[in-house]
Chain A
């Protein structure tokens, strides 16, 4: 009575074929990742040591460690996040919760999405003009971080906006009906349910800010500095630029050095991401609907 008939068997076959197809796609996509990480570990692994991470570069950057670059990258990422996250989330809250749904709002949304596609070198030139020259920050961590922040803002705004929009409207209505103001509703009901989505956007931008070379090259990152920066108005070294320099600009660099730098860069991004993912998981554990 319940035996599979022709059409059922056919459906079953189709379903198996699609499952296969998607599985194969997944494997194809994951192969490059494995090769990249594998190469980095294989070639760069041997150069990783305590002194590689915590010493300054020596002998025209062909020997020694990378600590100033590592230190600088962390600085740049943290300062840029301090600027882009509050600004981006605030803009997203305005666009999602307060702005009337009219042509202007839609244009702003569209412009924001387009801004995310602007090449990073364009942001770099903007950073030089705006922060280095106009605001007179000079080439400094502040100028470089703000340039990175401008670059990452669109994605922070768009992903935060999407996170806010995904909170069901019925939650807002229920809250308004209790006599809550818009801000009380946002603070008590909307934001707590959007944190995880907002953090996803931030996680993506951590990697981007840490990995970009162009925006910081003209605005605050130096090829080589004998000292660590003292304040946000100093220049700094950065891992991404350091990698570019040791890989292409400096002669007689041992082959393992650039791979080691790349491995550390990937590692630091992973650590920052895991931290954000950990926060997200803790928040997600508390909020469910």
Chain B
């Protein structure tokens, strides 16, 4: 029996009364890479924002339905900050905060009060940067500004930062949009390794990326979850919905 890390029931998201995503029911299993594909405006990013309760920061975003993580309704978590610490997020465009490379990674543990001793933090920063495949490139300039690294490096820095609190869930939102193909492949290798330690939700607009990485894939279209299935069967033409076949086959999108 697979463990359900995230359970979503009848999720609907609206912005100021205008529905962006509706009637989503799905499970994400522990230690899998769950791919979400779909064209722009299909509600993929809204889905991620609902999972870590960013709707609290957006006054016009309304979320209905339930999302359970580890069996607990995210809305019953008293401490949303604790919830968000369990979830690492990587954005489409790299966000190197204008802090040093070191501080970029150390910021979250420091704010959470879990930084510990200097040695401890040094180790943590090195470990995160190594896992994000960035350590060798920045180990000599940890006190340089993170925001002055190249785009691809900044994206790996963002991943290192997301890993700094040992999250149980890692959510990546079209991480390869501003990254060159070589870096993309390196990050994809990183994700394959991380899978053994955490659950990964990979939102991507590259259908082939989902095919390469995801164990299961969901197809979102116009605010609706059209289909969820094993990536292999979806890509072998076993999709039940014709729209999924068309999208994967490159007929639109």
Contact = CB atoms under 8 A, between A and B. Distances in A.
Interface stretch (B90-98, B128-136, B230-238): B90-98
A179 B98 contact: no
Residue of A174, A177, A189, A289 with highest tally of chain B CB at under 10 A: A177
Contacts, number: 65
A180 B83 CA distance: 11
Interface residues of A, number: 21
Contacts of A175: 97, 107
Contacts of B8: none
B108 A170 contact: no
A193 B146 CA distance: 14
Contacts of B164: 178
B168 to A, nearest CB: 13
Given A179-B108, A288-B145, A100 B95 contact: no
A101 B158 CA distance: 30
A287 interface: yes
B97 A173 contact: no
B84 A171 contact: no
Nearest to A193: B98
B111 interface: yes
Interface in B143-160: 145, 147-148, 158
Interface in A89-118: 100-101
A282 to B, nearest CB: 15
Contacts of A176: 54, 57, 84
Nearest to A189: B97
B161 interface: yes
A179 B91 contact: no
A170 B95 contact: yes
Interface of B: 52, 54, 57, 59, 81-85, 87, 89, 91, 93, 95-98, 107-108, 111-112, 145, 147-148, 158, 161-162, 164-165
Interface of A: 100-101, 170-171, 173-181, 184, 188-189, 192-193, 287-289
